[in-house]
Amino acid sequence: MATSTPVDTGTGTSSPMKITVNGVSQHQASKKKAVDLREKFAEEMIGYWGGAMDPLEFLRTQLVVGEPVPKKFTADFKTVLKGAKVENDMYEPFIDAVNNANVLTEDFDLRNTSNSSEAVTKQRPDVSLFRTTSAPEEGPLSSQESAPDDDTASQASSELTALSDELSSHDIDVDVDNGVASQTRSSDSNHSEYLEQDTGKARGQDASSSEWKWHKLELWIEFKLHESADGFRKDYDNIQDLCLDHMESYAAKETRGQLASYAAKQLAHQHRRFIISILVTGKFARFILFDRGGAQVTRHFDYTKKPHILAEFFWRYARTSDHHRGYDLTAPLATPAEQEALETAATNFKNDTSKRKLPGLETALDSRFPCYKLSVKGIPLDSETQLPETRHYIVRSPFWHPASPCGRATRAYVALDVASKELVFLKDYWRPTDGRPSEAEVYAELNAANVPHLPHVLLAGDVVDQDDRDVDVPQSTTSDLFLEPVQNKLFKSPGIRQYRHHRVVQTLLYPLKSAKNSRELVKAIHNATECVVAASKVEWLHRDVSGMNVMLDEDGEGVLNDWDHAMKSSIERTPAYSRTGTWQFMSIQLGRNPYKAHDVFDDVESCLWVFLHAAIHFFESNASYSTLDMFDHSEEGRHATYGSFTKGGNAKRNYLFDDQENYVKFSSTALHKAVSEAAALVRYYHLTLTGGDFREHLPSAQQLLIWDPSQPPVPGSRTPLLRHLAQMLERNDWPASDTVSDIFPRVRETVLTKDNDKDKSARVGSTITSQSLPMQSLKEVLDERNRVAAASDRRRRKRSAEGEEDNEPGTGDSGTDKRRRTLTGSKASVATRRGTGSRSTDVEPEGPAQASGSRETGAAREQASLLRRSTRKRSTVNVVQQPH
């Protein structure tokens, strides 16, 4: 019987995959300390630093003021380095020099924050500029915001300017970067309005740490005692041939990573279009502007010889508008009445026993964060006129703060619709403007094509500002515009591109952890897979199926959310410098080949990894933390010209190609059957990709993954994925309520390393004895897994050789001789690839020593194993044979 033509396996080229801190941190099993993340930030930002603009030109274009700039400033910064033996010695003289120059207005104050941790993130920039009067968000009103009455405005202002309790002069501060506690004298003891005690401390008690909050911070300054710690090049004549950040010393990488980490935190905790910071290295300084498109870096200048540049910077910054300081004017502070309305609505929702419980609701109402009123402009779903209109929503803290400085920076909120008084879901992010449609347009087209299991979108549209002529202008990043190579011989790094601010309002959705039982999880995966397949028939690919966007609605039906990465498969476009996604759920082929074009099979396979990941976290099994390493495993490679890319996938492949008795075993028989058979179908698909005798079955394997009930049956004895999941849902042995709290919450890597002799199941009180590897560090787990695999493979070879000698007499070759030729050919192939510059690590581990040094299973072992399996199974009905 004829079947539909399968989609190609994606052998074309696409943007190289690049892991970001944000792309892995949400689902990673282990948490890293801030100092350990700096290297990751430095790698992530390769290709996203642009410049180097003249510092005075930077001031004139970015910090626009409406009054004449003084022709002369009385400023002297020579004392900053005088007698400085350590970096800390520079802070106070710098602050004094700025204050003595009389360039700041009374609305701003420069403070030493090196001894005072930020309240939530515990980050500690060296020196920071604070607003002393009103909230930065309480600036001029935009076209999307109506002015509050005088009483409301007064209340908002008084709330903002409330001073914290006075701190004692001695505070204990935890150095997050170094992991040590030190007793330090706070230089801010006389200016406690910038610092806040831990909640629950009574007035007069010693605070355990002095704190401040990101939303009150204007900008930060990073100091390095020595010029050699500068993270950027100074030979500007070669800027067109080399990236600005081509500085490979450890100190330079450390500096760039630290800058990026602070920028990520500030942008995540404020509603900003961009932020500006200062880097001081010895007697030199630079200005840096971060937005979601990249970073603009100025040329370095000697501030001891040209003090007027620094003086003019602070003079302009204190007098320019909130708009030119980078604030999003469509996100002012909410009034106390609006804040109370949000809290009341959330409390009523939480107490309503008829409603599904929403995990993370407390996070969304975290009192450590201020409330904002966000404006969304678009055509509402219930509009009778089909004309754009603006609606307002009260939000507080997102479920997750974006962890990277550049990119989409998605923030998801529980929001209160000011008009309807209903709780809704609001997504705020930045979308690339490289010709792809907005998410609002994607949903419109998918809904028109009757694609099932989509979110219920109420309102969506780009965020707009008004220009000088009162014309709506989309809110976009500007780094790409200011850093055009033709302008002042600036170098625009290849990763920098334009992003546009976008907001989407939907009815409430619930994460997979809210599933009442394992059957609801299976239903969610079934629906997500069905959505992916249906979308592919109208040429849409989701391209980021993950554990955060396969969700449940109020009725427990699965919904595939977040189509902001979606693209038309039929439209050819120029690949971007890199692409990002949620690494843990990426397909094996995308991981192994960073340049592979994305196809529907990648999306379907991601549904499996979401299925397995959620099942391990929220349902009893014999899994341990080491099981989760298959999701996190990755390797960094170098981009041919500019930066790095990420590859991996072999840890997931090893899991699939292990004997099925080694799969994770779930307590629920129905769940175990659902997961293991879905994994077997994906395994069969990858088996056909290896070539040889299995290549002829590739069309059948593809159809098994993307079959839907409207198609003819797939020939063979295997059940297609969607039919399998549907049949599983019909079983009557599903537990009524078997969901548990997260069995594997994120923990520090040091905890995993120290817990070598303890199994996770024992520590969390699981009733199932783990059959997985003991608790180990990530590297130890991979080494041990390879050693076990190598030993197991040797035993299988021996059994296979005996079987081949018995089953194939008179062929003139023993099984051992055949295997030797196969392995020799594979090694020759590996050697050939290496001779052409390949970075392949797929070399067969021949013993424990070699196995421990390998991070991926050898291709030769894999091919030999597949050959043996095919020999054993070829006479059975389990291998699909195409009818003749």
Tokens of 10: 């994606």
The vertex-362 CA angle with 356 and 366, nearest 5°, equals: 155
> Any idea which residue has 């405005």 for tokens?
153
Q: Which of 686, 720, 687 is nearest to 705 (CA)?
A: 720
Q: Are residues 542 and 691 in the same domain?
A: yes
Look at residue 133 in the predicted model and tell me its pLDDT.
77
Beta bridge partners of 288: 277, 297
Q: Which of 493, 88, 158, 124 is nearest to 297 (CA)?
A: 493
Q: Residues of the chain with pLDDT > 90: what percent?
A: 50
Q: Are residues 608 and 670 in the same domain?
A: yes
Q: Are residues 632 and 781 in the same domain?
A: no
Residue 160, domain member (yes or no): no
Whether omega before 419 lies within 30 degrees of 0, making that bond cis, reads no
Q: Are residues 712 and 793 in the same domain?
A: no
Residue 461, domain member (yes or no): no
231, 247 Cβ separation under 8 angstroms: yes
Could you give the CA distance from residue 390 to residue 505 in angstroms, rounded to a whole number? 12
Look at residue 841 in the predicted model and tell me its pLDDT.
36
For the chain of 884 residues, list the mean pLDDT of each consecutive stretch of 10: 40 53 60 74 84 92 94 95 96 98 96 86 91 59 37 33 29 31 32 34 37 88 97 78 78 94 94 97 97 94 97 98 94 96 95 93 87 94 82 95 90 96 97 87 94 96 81 88 58 78 97 97 98 96 94 97 90 56 88 85 96 97 92 72 70 87 91 96 92 81 91 84 97 97 79 46 32 36 55 64 49 40 39 39 36 39 43 36 38
Could you give the CA distance from residue 644 to residue 646 in angstroms, rounded to a whole number? 7
Cβ neighbour number for residue 445 with a 10 Å cutoff: 17
**Cβ contacts of 359 within 8 Å, gap of 6 or more:** 510, 511, 513, 514
Q: Are residues 521 and 670 in the same domain?
A: yes
Q: Are residues 541 and 668 in the same domain?
A: yes
Could you give the CA distance from residue 42 to residue 643 in angstroms, rounded to a whole number? 11
Residue 420, domain member (yes or no): no
Q: Name the 3-class secondary structure at 128.
A: strand
For the packed helices 518-537 and 600-618, what is the interaxial angle rounded to 10 degrees? 170
665, 770 Cβ separation under 8 angstroms: no
- Environment class of residue 831 by beta-carbon count within 10 Å: exposed (0-12), middle (13-18) or buried (19+)? exposed
Q: Name the 3-class secondary structure at 685.
A: helix
Contacts 24+ apart (CB under 8 A), 381-389: 381/456, 381/457, 381/458, 381/459, 382/458, 388/461
Query: In this structure, which amino acid lies at residue 802?
Result: E
| Alpha-carbon Rg for the chain in angstroms | 29
Q: Are residues 782 and 656 in the same domain?
A: no
Question: Among residues 733, 764, 790, which one ends one of the domains?
Answer: 733
Q: Are residues 663 and 787 in the same domain?
A: no
**Cβ contacts of 173 within 8 Å, gap of 6 or more:** 115, 116, 117, 124, 181, 182, 183, 184, 209, 210
Domain enclosing residue 610, as ranges:
1-16+510-560+586-733
Tokens of 843: 């070399």
Q: Are residues 706 and 796 in the same domain?
A: no
Q: Give the model confidence (pLDDT) of 608-661 as tens digits.
A: 999 999 999 999 999 999 899 999 888 776 654 445 667 888 999 999 988 777
Look at residue 170 in the predicted model and tell me its pLDDT.
30
CATH number at residue 612: 1.10.510
Question: Among residues 700, 718, 733, which one ends one of the domains?
Answer: 733
Question: Among residues 678, 709, 733, which one ends one of the domains?
Answer: 733
700, 716 Cβ separation under 8 angstroms: yes
Residue 194, domain member (yes or no): no
Look at residue 210 in the predicted model and tell me its pLDDT.
64
Residue 324, domain member (yes or no): no
Residue 58, domain member (yes or no): no
Look at residue 728 in the predicted model and tell me its pLDDT.
98
415, 374 Cβ separation under 8 angstroms: yes
Q: Are residues 700 and 785 in the same domain?
A: no
Could you give the CA distance from residue 754 to residue 768 in angstroms, rounded to a whole number? 22
Give the global pTM: 0.75
Query: In this structure, which amino acid lies at residue 533?
Result: V
Q: Give the model confidence (pLDDT) of 388-404 as tens digits.
A: 899 999 999 999 889 88
Q: Are residues 727 and 829 in the same domain?
A: no
Query: In this structure, which amino acid lies at residue 393?
Result: Y
Q: How many domains does the chain have?
A: 2
Cβ neighbour number for residue 311 with a 10 Å cutoff: 23
Look at residue 54 in the predicted model and tell me its pLDDT.
92
Q: b/e string for 690-725 if b means 16 or more Cβ within 10 A?
A: beeebeebbbbbbbbbbbbeeeeebebebbbbbbbb
Look at residue 601 in the predicted model and tell me its pLDDT.
96
Residue 664, domain member (yes or no): yes
Q: Are residues 632 and 712 in the same domain?
A: yes
Tokens of 314: 């602070």
Residue 654, domain member (yes or no): yes
